[in-house]
Structure 1
Amino acid sequence: MNEDSRSYVAAAAAGAVAFVLAYVLVYALSISVVRDSLLTGIAEAFGDENAAWKIVGWVFFNAQFVTTTVTVDVPLLGGTDAVNFVAESDALSPVLYVIPPALLTAAGLAAARVDGAVETARALRVGPAVTLGYLPLAVIGALLFAVSVGEGSGGSPDLLTAVVLAGILYPVVFGTLGAVLGTALGGD
């Protein structure tokens, strides 16, 4: 394996680790609120017995500005709505918005350090490679965090936004920022 390949594999691994750690931190900071929510109670009573970890997944994506599409199939009351629970709930901390960018920046910094990048041009190639590990998990997560309640009700992260915003834009921007910072701080 050549040096470039090793650098991209390390960046991809850093991206995957950033995704997992971000979910774990969001879980730790939101699970008590999610477990106590009416939405979780309904989901667990009428559909998915273990919905809480999936609904934390919604919060995780909401922290990256990916909305959750919630569909309620009840005559006269039903409909579909796009929701960001972090933005719309006083019980969830806005600190959740900081977690994915901070960990992706750290992943980019780590990728630059592993690569030994000393020039910004190199950082601009290595940093975005964090996406190689983050994007597949974003796609899997968006699909895995779907909750069904009854025949036509349920919710899940918006797949297109999860792929484009959380899966591509976030890791490219923050991975690159981290790699550039790693390069700038490399001589210190």
Structure 2
Amino acid sequence: MSRDGVRGDTPWVPAAITGVVAFALEYLVVYLWQANRVRESLQNVNAIIDLLGGQTIPAWKIVGWLFYNAHFVSVTRPALGGGRTTTNLIASGDAPQLLYVLPPLFLLVAGVILVRYAGLTAPRDGALCGTVVSLGYAVPTWIGVFAFRITTDDAWMGPAVALGLVLAGVVYPVVSGAIGGALAAVTSG
């Protein structure tokens, strides 16, 4: 049974679940792929921090930075002499460029799954329905902007807040979900 139109048929709860699952699986893939490399690179820094009695930097937070860098969200940190500076670990060559493929891929697949679940066949309706994946993806993305921060008494380092909230939390899931939804509708049948 296929349906056209998303007005009354929008699967809100499945869309939210699909978005959350896409976020979790994407982070898991980044973690499994990069955590050992991150731990190795943190080894000397954490040894010094531990020697000075500070709290060591957990690898899961730096993996989170890579997750946001894959969405083209830079990591921001205090600059010498005041102000802030930004960096993207992937763009600077400290992580594989292939990480950039993960966000659109996972969100495109989420859009396909959602539209197939909804049984939509019109590309426009599929695209509109695919955008709803953003509901579930945005919330953990917004939480992650703050959860992946490393803080000291007077400073913090982590994903850039505005870009993290807008680009990773809204733009990526809306655009990629819509493309996936439209593809699912076009190829249904």
Alpha-carbon distance in 2 for matches of 1:18, 1:85: 22
Given the alignment of the two structures, is residue 65 of structure 1 paired with residue 65 of structure 2, yes or no? no
1:83 is aligned to 87
Q: Tell me which of 12, 19, 24 is aligned to 2:23.
A: 19
What percentage of aligned pairs have identical amino acids?
Answer: 37
Q: Secondary structure at the match of 2:9?
A: helix
Q: Give matches, 1:50-129, under 5 Å.
A: 50-71=57-78, 80-90=84-94, 92-129=95-132
Superposed CA deviations along residues 88-107 of structure 1, whole A, max 9, x for unmatched, are 134x1111111111000000
**Can you give the 5+ residue segments of structure 2 that lack an aligned partner in the other structure?**
1-6
Alignment check: 8 A CA contact 1:143 1:156 kept: yes
Q: Give matches, 1:165-184, under 5 Å.
A: 165-184=167-186
TM-score under structure 2 length normalisation: 0.86
Q: Secondary structure at the match of 1:173?
A: helix
Q: CA deviation at 1:109?
A: 0.1
Runs (4 or more) in structure 1 with deviation over 6 Å come to none
Given the alignment of the two structures, is residue 9 of structure 1 paired with residue 22 of structure 2, yes or no? no
**Can you give the 5+ residue segments of structure 1 that lack an aligned partner in the other structure?**
none
Alignment check: 8 A CA contact 2:107 2:173 kept: yes
Q: CA deviation at 1:24?
A: 0.6
The number of aligned residues is 180
| RMSD of Structure 2 on Structure 1 (CA) | 2.3
Alpha-carbon distance in 2 for matches of 1:61, 1:129: 21
Q: Tell me which of 142, 145, 148 is aligned to 1:145.
A: 148
Given the alignment of the two structures, is residue 134 of structure 1 paired with residue 141 of structure 2, yes or no? no
Bigger proportion of residues as helix: 1
